[in-house]
């Protein structure tokens, strides 16, 4: 006897992301610098690590490796705007 229930399919498993590799960096601050950093972070509702990462990202953004851009031109595409 066949049932009239719809067939339920399982959702596909998500592909696992490649793990991010982190490198540790350390440096020293004076007592005054540390207190000022803590005050700034408390006022702006930040953690010291998040604050420092945002500063670093702003400065090194233009030095990151750019991924190779994929060409979306196919073999049978019209050549209307080619530079001769």
**Structure confidence at residue 68 (pLDDT):** 66
Q: Is residue 15 part of a domain?
A: no
**Structure confidence at residue 29 (pLDDT):** 95
- Does 1 have pLDDT greater than 60? no
Q: Is residue 71 part of a domain?
A: no
Total domains in the fold of the chain = 1
Q: Is residue 38 part of a domain?
A: yes
Tokens 């595409």 belong to residue: 77
Q: Is residue 46 part of a domain?
A: yes
User: 0.75 cut: is pTM over it?
Assistant: no
Distances (CA, A) of 40 to 30, 55, 81: 15, 13, 54
**Structure confidence at residue 7 (pLDDT):** 73
Q: Is residue 9 part of a domain?
A: no
Q: Is residue 36 part of a domain?
A: yes
What secondary structure letter does DSSP report for 45? T
- Contact (Cβ atoms closer than 8 angstroms) between residue 39 and residue 25: no
pLDDT digits (tens, 9 = 90+) for 4-59: 777 777 778 888 888 989 999 999 999 999 999 999 999 999 999 999 999 999 89
**Structure confidence at residue 71 (pLDDT):** 67
Domain extent, residue 37, equals: 31-60
């Amino acid at each position: 006897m066949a049932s009239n229930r719809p067939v339920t399919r399982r959702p596909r498993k998500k592909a696992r992301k490649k793990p991010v590799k982190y490198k540790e960096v350390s440096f020293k601050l004076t007592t005054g610098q540390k207190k000022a950093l803590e005050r700034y972070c408390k006022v702006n509702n930040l953690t010291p690590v998040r604050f420092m990462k945002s500063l670093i990202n702003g400065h090194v953004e233009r030095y990151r490796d750019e991924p190779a851009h994929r060409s979306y031109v196919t073999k049978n595409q019209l050549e209307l705007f080619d530079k001769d």
